[in-house]
């Protein structure tokens, strides 16, 4: 086949089956991360999939394959352009870890071909199902191949769908050197779910002008905006004495913590907000009578939203001190990430190429935003513009997570067109 006789930029039936097989293999590998670990990666189990990917990249013939001491697995698809042709290097990224707060070991994926509507049973959880009336996206997937867990664990489509898509793209381009494209860097990161995925990511060494995370959801979505995120820890220090002689002496930090959580503004909780509304989310609590810590996520699309929610937290901490004389309430606020739109607005071409690739893959692109964070948030501010591309998963982080193989295939087709589009760019990324 010559350069003038190029293959259709779409996965064929065999490659689609290979994509499914990859995904099923990856989700069976336990990679749950940890919020409390002090190691990096935060859990040893993540190394199992990272080493598997290193071996697979080497076996398929990728160049510059490396698994770093910090758990980043990298490889390169070589350029097929004439020697000396200058074009920007593009990166494709996904994360291997799964959400810390939902069981992710012994995943038993359930494959349902030609979904015909109705509820999706979860055989490991009798009486439980993914209900069609609670999941309006299911009606868009009639006729698709859908994958769920058995209901006892999450599935892990977040983000093993992205991992499988990128590995399938790499294999496709190595099989088709007749397709003109520039150098492509691929990478797999640990600990995205803990917000630490890019802590040791060396953007200069990665060597790309821009990148894309394949870590999104619905068909056609390109996400170029995220929440700004901070974390907050409230430490409540009480006075612990024997309960038999506690009158007028004990200050119970556990009761104070319950009081503090009850004071949270009801209009700014995850369960009461949507769209662009900010929230304050208590997600970990621990301690005893003498001392309790409560951890919070603070989220808002604008920094001003963060500040307002943090002022709420400072206010209710003071009110809790007043309600429990002798209690000390300390609030520690730490920056996590900022809205990547600030950076991506300076590089509109990066987002536009993704939108163009979706159209070329036969889908309708939608520019959207994430009510959360992604590795791309931090990478943008490290100097690597990185929007997010859909990967087909729904109900992330929960026992009712599911993914459409058909949407995963369209995501892979989008990636094929995206890489070729980047191969036609001049050597410097426009701003």
Phi, psi of 56 (to 5 degrees): -70, -40
- Residue 297 in 3-state DSSP? strand
Q: How far apart are CA 179 and CA 4, in angstroms?
A: 9
User: Residue 184: phi, psi to the nearest 5?
Assistant: -125, 130
CA distance 221 to 424: 23
Largest CA distance in the chain: 89
In angstroms, rounded to a whole number, what is the distance separating the alpha carbons of residues 84 and 278?
49
356 is an active site residue: no
- Pull the structure tokens for residue 76: 């390169």
Position of tokens 């697979």?
56
The two tokens of residue 248 are 């007028």
- From 97, 193, 225, 375, the catalytic residue: 97
Q: In terms of DSSP H, where are the helices of 28-117?
A: 46-60
Q: Cis link prior to 41 (omega < 30° from 0)?
A: yes
211/376 Cα distance (integer angstroms): 8
DSSP H helical ranges for 44-183: 46-60, 157-175
Q: Give me 25's structure tokens.
A: 């293999």
Token code pair at residue 78: 């070589």
CA distance 119 to 172: 35
Is 413 a catalytic site residue?
A: no
Q: Give counts: helices (H), strands (E), the chain.
A: 10, 18
CA 196 to CA 147: how far, in whole Å? Answer: 28
User: Which candidate in 56, 150, 158, 192 is catalytic?
Assistant: 192
Catalogue the active-site residues: 97, 192
């Amino acid at each position: 086949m010559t350069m003038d006789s190029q293959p259709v930029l779409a996965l064929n039936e065999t490659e689609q089956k290979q994509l499914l097989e990859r995904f099923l293999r990856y989700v069976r590998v336990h990679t749950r991360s940890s919020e409390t670990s002090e190691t990096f990666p935060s859990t040893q189990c993540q190394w199992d999939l990272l080493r598997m990917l290193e071996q697979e990249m080497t076996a398929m013939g990728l160049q510059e394959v490396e698994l770093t001491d910090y758990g980043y697995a990298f490889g390169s698809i070589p350029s097929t352009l004439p020697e000396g042709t200058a074009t920007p290097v593009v990166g494709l990224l996904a994360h291997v870890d799964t959400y810390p707060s939902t069981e992710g070991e012994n995943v038993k994926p359930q494959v349902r071909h030609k979904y015909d509507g109705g509820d999706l049973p979860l055989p490991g959880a009798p009486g439980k199902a993914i209900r069609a009336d609670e999941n309006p996206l299911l009606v868009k997937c009639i006729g698709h191949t859908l994958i769920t867990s058995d209901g006892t664990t999450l599935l892990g489509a977040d983000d093993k769908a992205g991992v499988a898509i990128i590995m399938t793209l790499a294999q496709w381009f190595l099989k088709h050197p007749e397709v003109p494209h520039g150098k492509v860097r691929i990478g797999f990161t640990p600990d995205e779910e803990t917000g630490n995925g890019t802590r040791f990511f060396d953007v200069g060494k990665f060597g790309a002008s821009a990148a894309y995370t394949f870590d999104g959801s619905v068909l056609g979505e390109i996400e170029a905006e995220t929440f700004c995120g901070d974390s907050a820890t409230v430490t409540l220090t009480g006075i612990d004495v024997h309960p038999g002689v506690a009158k007028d002496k004990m200050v119970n930090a556990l009761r104070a913590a319950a009081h503090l959580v009850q004071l949270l503004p009801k209009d700014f909780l995850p369960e009461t907000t949507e769209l662009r509304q900010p929230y304050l989310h208590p997600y970990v609590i621990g301690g005893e009578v003498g001392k309790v810590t409560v951890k919070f996520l603070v989220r808002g699309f604008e920094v001003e939203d963060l500040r307002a929610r943090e002022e709420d937290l400072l206010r209710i901490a003071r009110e809790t001190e007043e309600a429990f004389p002798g209690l000390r309430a300390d609030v520690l606020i730490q920056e996590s990430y900022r809205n990547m739109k600030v950076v991506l607005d300076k590089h509109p071409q990066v987002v536009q190429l993704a939108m163009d690739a979706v159209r070329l893959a036969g889908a309708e692109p939608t520019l959207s935003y994430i009510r959360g964070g992604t590795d791309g948030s931090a990478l943008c501010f490290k100097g690597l513009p990185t929007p997010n591309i859909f990967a087909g998963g729904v109900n992330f982080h929960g026992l009712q997570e599911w993914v459409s193989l058909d949407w995963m295939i369209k995501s892979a087709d989008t990636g094929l067109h995206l890489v070729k589009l980047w191969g036609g760019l001049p050597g410097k990324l426009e701003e």
